[in-house]
Homo-oligomer: A and B are copies of this chain.
Amino acid sequence: MRTVIIGSGAGGLTTASTIRKYNKDMEIFVITREKYIAYSPCALPYVIANEIPSFEDIIMHTPEDYKKNKNINIITESNVIDIDSNNNEITYCSNKSMNPKDDKDNNNDNEDNNNKENNKDTDNNFKMTLNYDYLVIATGGLPFIPPIEGRDLEGVFALKTIEDGMRIKKYAENSKNAIVAGAGAIGLEMAYALKKLGLQVTIVEMAPQVLPRALDIDMAKKVMNYLTEDLGIKVLLEKPLGKILGDENNRVKGAIIDDEIYNCDMVIMATGTRPNVELARKAGCEIGRFAIKVNSKMQTTIPNIYAVGDCVETRDYITKQITLSPFGTTALRQGKVAGKNIAGVPAEFNPVLNAMVSKIGDIEVGGTGMSELRAHQNRLEVVVGKSKAFTRARYYPGGKNIYIKLIFDMNKTIIGCQIVGGERVSERIDAMSLGILKNITCEDLSNMEFCYAPPVSMVVDPIALAAEDAYDKFNRL
């Protein structure tokens, strides 16, 4: 029996390792366009910021490690160009660059046309086929670059692969001014990184707030204050990046935002990703509203083809609607489910809360479940509890501010949580994710037993304070 996995991100490699954990005999192949595997894309902004010493540090394993330790075969720098699902066979070819420019082209500018490009580029290369019993599509997402003028200029970057990170860092060394388009987590992390390297940084965002997917506007304002006042980053909200301007060498020299010219040497497109579903479509897998359709076993509509990670759609835990969950942790958990099922161990992937956390300079920002705004959009009435507190006892030196927002439905059950603070945010988000999954109420939370010691918490936990605030509001209804 053989499983072929397309893609070496968290989803693909976790599928491979999970199959091996439960099945010692399965032949496992992973085919990837990338040269480096098993690195953490989430870490890239922190390497650029010099908070992690080098790009090598974030590469956890080599293809040789996988072969040696787990008998998993990894074929790098290779494009899968076709899937023949009737004959259970894929066709791929190596893209090990005869032309060194390939690498850049594939990973940066022309993502939308990637597969077509690859076909063209690689027609001259030797095509290989590999048959499979199970196929796993883990083709991830592709950076979405809005079709604006100047997007092909030198100095315009998206951040997806480790090689993108290397290019950005190198380019930043000779730059003074950067514009970051998009104020999601990656946008903010990149803005901080470039600022830390000494650049002047401007963020431009279409929404009326930073972190529009993760936070409500009230919580986003705390982050906004930190960015502008503490870090000195300029943030332009409700503005589109209109056009990127180039000099005579086709290098970025500025951008037009809201009819105003901003000088800059580089532009980071942190404008999101789109599920990469082309191969799945070719194979005949059904594509859903946003991405590849899978069942709770991570099976596509073709039973021996699974799909995991940024290229699939999933279900929102609260609304039960179809959604995307483009997080490394989601890919990893889906890989575990796909791997188990392929190995014959029953497992199901559950609907997601899209819990997230980011560290931007000295603050941590996290969110899970439903925001107040999204609740309103779903015509769901909610009551919100908030607290402004400290991460340690008030008198304990080094304590940081922490802002908590809890969102409850009219049954007093928690459906969302957002936290901005100087420390100790991520585990609180996890606790509230657990609370959402287990239908905890504001009364439960306000009375809950929290552990306490002055250096690590307040005697009344900030979560309990926020829950008490909601409890009081419910009582006043």
Which residues in A have some Cβ–Cβ distance to B below 8 Å? 10, 40, 42-43, 46, 51-53, 57-58, 60, 185, 327-330, 332-333, 336-337, 347, 350, 352-353, 355-359, 364, 366, 368, 393-397, 424-431, 433-435, 437-438, 440, 444, 447-457, 459-461, 463
Q: Which of A40, A364, A430, A451 has the most CB of B within 10 A?
A: A451
CA distance A444 to B327 in the complex (A): 19
Is A57 within 8 A of B395, CB to CB?
A: yes
- Given A430-B461, A434-B434, A459-B328, answer yes or no on A42-B454 (Cβ-Cβ < 8 Å): yes
Question: How far, in whole Å, are A437 and B453 apart by their CA atoms in the complex?
Answer: 21
Hey, which chain B residues are within 8 Å of A57, CB to CB?
395
**What CA separation (Å) do A67 and B103 show in the bound complex?**
73
Point out the residues of chain B lying under 8 angstroms from A43, CB to CB: 393, 395-396, 454
Closest partner residue, chain B, to A426 (CB atom):
B456
A426 and B458 CA atoms in complex are apart in Å by 11
23 contacts across the A-B interface (CB closer than 8 A) = A42-B453, A42-B454, A43-B395, A46-B454, A52-B454, A53-B397, A328-B459, A329-B450, A329-B451, A330-B449, A350-B447, A355-B451, A356-B453, A357-B453, A358-B453, A359-B453, A424-B424, A424-B426, A424-B427, A426-B453, A427-B431, A428-B430, A431-B431
A327 contact set on B, CB distance < 8 A: 452
Instruction: Determine whether the beta carbon of A429 is less than 8 Å from that of B448.
Output: no
Report the Cα distance A395→B55, complex, angstroms. Answer: 10
Given A357-B456, A451-B329, A52-B424 contact (CB < 8 Å): no
A40 touches B451 (CB 8 A): no
| Cβ–Cβ contact A364 & B397, under 8 A | no
Known: A330-B449, A429-B451, A448-B437. A357 touches B52 (CB 8 A): no
Given known contacts A395-B52, A438-B434, A456 and B425 CB-to-CB distance under 8 angstroms: yes
Smallest CB–CB gap between A346 and chain B, Å?
11
Contact residues in B for A459 (Cβ distance below 8 Å): 10, 40, 42, 328-329, 332
Report B-chain residues with C-beta under 8 Å of the C-beta of A328: 452, 459
Supplied contacts A43-B395, A434-B438, 17 more A-B pairs, CB within 8 Å: A40-B395, A40-B459, A42-B454, A43-B393, A51-B397, A57-B395, A58-B393, A58-B395, A60-B395, A356-B451, A364-B456, A366-B451, A368-B451, A425-B456, A426-B453, A434-B440, A438-B440
By the criterion CB–CB under 8 Å, are B397 and A52 in contact?
yes
CA distance in complex: A43, B457 (Å): 11
Bound: A463/B359 CA distance, A:
21
* A447 in contact with B333 given A395-B58, A426-B453, A454-B43 (CB within 8 Å): yes
Q: Is the CB of B52 within 8 A of A396?
A: yes
Q: How far is the CA of A329 from the CA of B460 in the complex (A)?
A: 7
Check B426 against A457 for contact (C-beta < 8 Å): yes
Q: Is the CB of A357 within 8 A of B430?
A: no
- In the complex, the chain B residue whose C-beta lies closest to that of A349 is B447
Instruction: Report the bound CA distance from A353 to B449 in whole Å.
Output: 8
User: Do A393 and B40 touch across chains, with their CB atoms under 8 A apart?
Assistant: yes
